[in-house]
Amino acid sequence: MRNRIFLAVVVLSALAAFAQQTNSSSSASSASASATQSASDREPLASPRPKDFWDGDDPNLVNLLTHPFANKKYVQRQVTPIRDRINELDQLSAENGGQIKDVDTRAQQGIQLASEKSSLADQHASDAANKAQLAQTAANAASTRVSTAEQMVGNLDQFKGSAQTEIRFRPGQTVLSKDAKDALDEMAAPLKDHRGYIIEVRGFAPGQGQAATRSSQKIADSVVRYLVLTHDIPVFRIYAMSMGNAAGSSDAKHSGGARVEVSVLKNDLETSAK
């Protein structure tokens, strides 16, 4: 066994010497080549770096004997830092993965919350638009009612004559004749259940001064009494005036007798209200 070891050492020594001699020859050749290249203005080639089992150590006997053997403890010393670093990287990767997942979850929650708020804002905007439309409709209706009311108020005092009747009386009498009642009935019948009208009653009587005025007042009151009691005409719609012996709207040939002129005046209030 010792002989074999010794023989191996001798062989390795011979190989090392041969390698040194080869390196010396190579160095000399390189030197001569460098001289030749410098002569021709060329950059020298870089010497090759040895790549062997000893990571750059010269393959001689000393390095062979002093190089540590690759035993189990040696391998563990070399591998343990690498394993620790790998475990540390795995831990960092797990932490980064957890943080990324947490960020993604919060981002999804934020997107969902923003979507809900956007939907709620759209609903509020739609409700506001509907309310604005209803308000505009109500404002238009109110404006229409105001215009109608203004028109009605403007027509309150604009009466137009629609019918006129003259009731004749004998001198000294205040009782209505049958013809007078028929004329009043014909005039008052269309006014039932109607509004927007007034009845003007003007009494005329011959004579002088206060006597004529009192006589005209009596015959005018007789007509008003018949309209109120027989046809239920409201008193506030009748305006009675005693004109005495003043000239009325009748013909001149009737200006000397006692008479009552009854006129129906209407406005457009009822038509506007409808």
pLDDT in tens, 4-61: 555 565 556 655 555 555 554 545 455 444 444 444 455 554 555 554 444 545 555 5
Domains: count for the chain? 1
Residue 42, domain member (yes or no) = no
pLDDT of residue 152: 61
For residue 218, being part of any structural domain is answered with yes
Sheet holding 160-169, edge to edge: 160-169, 258-266, 197-204, 238-242
Q: Residue 194 belongs to what domain range?
A: 160-273
Do the domain assignments include residue 241? yes
Q: Is residue 257 part of a domain?
A: yes
- The CATH number for 252's domain is 3.30.1330.60
Q: Which residue has the higher pLDDT, 29 or 233?
A: 233
Q: What is the pLDDT of residues 82-92, one digit of tens each?
A: 888 898 888 99
Least confidently predicted of 95-99, 194-198, 248-252? 248-252
pTM value surpassing 0.75: no
- Which residues lie below 8 Å from residue 185, measured CB to CB, with a gap of 6+? 230, 231
Distance CA 150, CA 208 (A): 47
On the question of pLDDT at 197 being above 60, the answer is: yes
pLDDT at 2: 52
pLDDT value at 182 more than 70: yes
- Residue 196 domain-assigned? yes
Residue 229: inside a domain: yes
List the one residue out of 237, 254, 255 whose CA is nearest residue 246. Answer: 255
Domain for residue 252, yes or no?
yes
Calculate the alpha carbon distances from 130 to 116, 120, 133, 228 in Å: 21, 15, 5, 54
Encoded tokens for 222: 């007789």
